[in-house]
Amino acid sequence: MRRPGGKVAILGGGMAGLSTAWRLSEPGWRDRFESITVYQRGWRLGGKGASSRGVNDRIEEHGLHVWLGSYENAFALLRECYAELDRPATDPSSPIRTWQEAIVPADNPGLAEQWGTGWLTWLGTHPRNGMTPGEPGGTGQEITVVEFVQRAVQLVVAFADSLRDAAPADLQLTATAEQAPAAPPPVVGAVQRGILAALLAIADPQVRAGPPGKAIEQAVDAVRAVIDYEERPDHRRSWLLISLVVAAVRGVVADNLINHPNGFRAINDEEFGDWVLRHGGHPDVLESAFVRGLYDLVFGYDHGDPRRPAVGAGVMVFLIGFVLFGYKGAIFWKMTAGMGDVVMAPLYQALRRRGVKFEFFHRLDSLHVDDLGVAIDAITLGRQVRLADGVGHYDPLVDVRGLAVFPSAPRGDQIQARSGMRTLESHFAARDDVETVVLQRGKDFDHIVLAVSVGMIPVVAAELIEDRPEWREMTANLRTVATQAFQLWLRPDEHALGWSKPGATITAYARPFETWASMPQTLWAENWLDPDRPGAVAYFCGSLRAPWPVNGDHPDYVRRYRDLVHRDAADYVDRYLGLYFPNAVSEQGFKWELLCGNDGRRGAAAMATQHVSVNIDPSDRYVQSVPGSDKYRLRPDESGYDNLILAGDWTDCGLNAGCIEAAVMSGFEAANALLGHGRYHRIRGFYLR
């Protein structure tokens, strides 16, 4: 008997596609749908969040993955998955049995800032709170403009309080305000008068209609007058943070975002830096480590050019609140193994138990519109390999130290051998398919969830782009950027290398790998032998200026950027690693003998064996939030075709920035559309209406 919902084809096994499958396959799903099938190119799941195991079973990531404590929906999904797997009962020997063992708080986020001819590191003060992200039964919570302003004001209050008793060297800024001072000195009173002026402007329409913030300006000037801006980096950074917060509060009031029906979206056509300057932010604010760190967080540079920051003001102001005010537990969380190990593999296992089907090695080539232009009539896929004789379905996981993980190449025991198997996940590889598969509406599928990266839309949806203006506008106005990353394994531990803050994540450092994460908590999961057993592993990432699309020879394009990133990674280690690991460098540069190499390589030759990720494939490119692009994003439920739903961090999902949380939210909204629920049904956390 055919179910009323028919067959669902999910095209893409990244986080958005898996999140859609998760919500669609909840208990009782077979009463609604006949089948749910995920089609995936190559042998791994996870998209930009995929990871695998290489030589020495080392974890090899697509890039640097750190979860924010404000990823409420992603954490909820992870917790539901581990609860359902119930590994303490079903797999008690697994080294990771619960979500708390899979991902742990990281308390040392920080920034690097240039001071004179050198660099300093600045570790933020973000105290843990008593909450945990993704609590069962949590409800949706929208961050409003009023709430943003109130919490931004708390930042200034906290700074004022720190001035009361702290010695000058101890000035700091925290994200929470504690007890009010009993007898504030004049500078604290000046800051507090500015705060009261801001709150009055928010609460009183008559005040809001006039020139706002005179008292705020006086408060900022008063702080500047009592600190040593030119000689003390801690004073300078604190004042610049106040200038930024005050400009944001002033902008919210002056642009009447309190009452605007579009909220933060109302200022998304303006670049964030321009908006800050327009509302009185000091020009130095835009060069501050904090603002650079915000841009780094979302790879927010036009075509990857750090000289051209480009993020919509509304998205950036919202993200400030999302990151600083919405976190639970810790502001950052880090995985204890690869993201593929602790997120994607468990989701695959749980979905398989539910009865969701997976068709690996099926590359999406094109969607075909029916003659009436109202539905998708067919899907063309390239079948990349055949399964080995006697293999009913491909099992993508292998065991490493008791943990189910994705390998770095297809499992040879599961498929028939062919050349070029390691390139099956690349858009640029030769298409030596064993078969062309055409899925037909009404026979092979009834509903489609298109869950590919936005960079692939022009490749697979050419007919839709030609058919509908909204698809043409979306592909013309949404931009993507290439990224680059590398992982470095070193023999000494971090303490011996000269670093004393375990688990740190620091951004805004020298380019092109401006972000670094300390990741020694993952080393237990790898299998190294003496004398190459590492004591430390460091992850680096940054944006990459690699335009797309390009005309000409694709192999040359790939080779050129691969060589560039490998060369830049080696140069970066030699020139810049000393900020983090001072004992790893000498007057001659990096001490190459400290690297853990493969195949017996030692010294500088070991650098060629480190893991480097060159993310120039259109499916790997990161969606950006450039000014003016927000209005061209399509909602998951507004593809314009009766049987097509969209999923991905490139959709208008309420968190319109590239990240895991946006992918999960979009996947949940895609499921809501198919299930007949409201758009934000069971969507949690902070989001834009």
pLDDT of residue 179 exceeding 50: no
517-524 mean pLDDT: 96
Distances (CA, A) of 157 to 161, 181, 446: 6, 10, 56
pLDDT of residue 103 exceeding 70: yes
**Omega of the bond leading into 512 within 30 degrees of 0 (cis):** yes
What is the Cα–Cα distance from 650 to 192, expressed in whole angstroms? 41
- pLDDT tens figures, 645-674: 999 999 999 999 999 999 999 999 999 999
Q: Are 270 and 627 in contact (CB under 8 A)?
A: yes
pTM given for the model: 0.93
Q: Are 109 and 331 in contact (CB under 8 A)?
A: yes
Query: 367 has which bridge partners?
Result: 379
- pLDDT tens figures, 416-449: 988 888 899 999 988 899 999 999 999 999 999 9
pLDDT of residue 685 exceeding 80: no
> b vs e for 108-140, b when ≥16 Cβ sit within 10 Å of the residue's Cβ?
bbbbbbeeeeebebbebebeeeeeebbeeebee
- Joined together, the tokens standing for residue 138 give 């949590």
pLDDT of residue 178 exceeding 50: no
Residue 600: which region, alpha, beta or left (left: phi > 0; alpha: psi -120 to 50)? Answer: left
Q: Where are the alpha helices (DSSP H) in 356-502?
A: 457-460, 462-467, 469-477, 494-497
* Nearest by Cα to 15 from 402, 422, 344, 424: 344
pLDDT of residue 375 exceeding 80: yes
Q: Can you give the pLDDT at residue 339?
A: 98
What is the Cα–Cα distance from 63 to 55, expressed in whole angstroms? 18
* Nearest by Cα to 173 from 149, 148, 193, 154: 154
Q: Are 534 and 487 in contact (CB under 8 A)?
A: no
Of 26 and 326, the one with more pLDDT: 26
Distances (CA, A) of 555 to 415, 429, 457, 552: 27, 8, 21, 9
Torsion, Cα 401 405 409 415, to 10 degrees, reads: 100
Distances (CA, A) of 214 to 149, 162, 207, 220: 17, 23, 11, 10
Q: What residue ranges define each of the domains in the chain, with the CATH number in brackets?
A: 7-101+336-479+620-687 (3.50.50.60), 139-327 (no CATH), 483-615 (no CATH)
**What rounded mean pLDDT belongs to the chain?**
89
* Nearest by Cα to 61 from 78, 82, 74, 46: 46
Q: Can you give the pLDDT at residue 263?
A: 86
**Omega of the bond leading into 4 within 30 degrees of 0 (cis):** no
pLDDT of residue 184 exceeding 50: no
Q: How confident is the model at residue 8 (pLDDT cuts 50, 70, 90)?
A: very high
What is the Cα–Cα distance from 312 to 299, expressed in whole angstroms? 13
At CA 663, angle to CA 660 and CA 664, rounded to 5? 90
- pLDDT tens figures, 202-251: 445 454 444 545 656 666 676 677 777 788 887 888 788 888 888 888 89
Q: How confident is the model at residue 142 (pLDDT cuts 50, 70, 90)?
A: low
- pLDDT tens figures, 265-297: 999 999 999 999 999 899 999 999 999 999 999
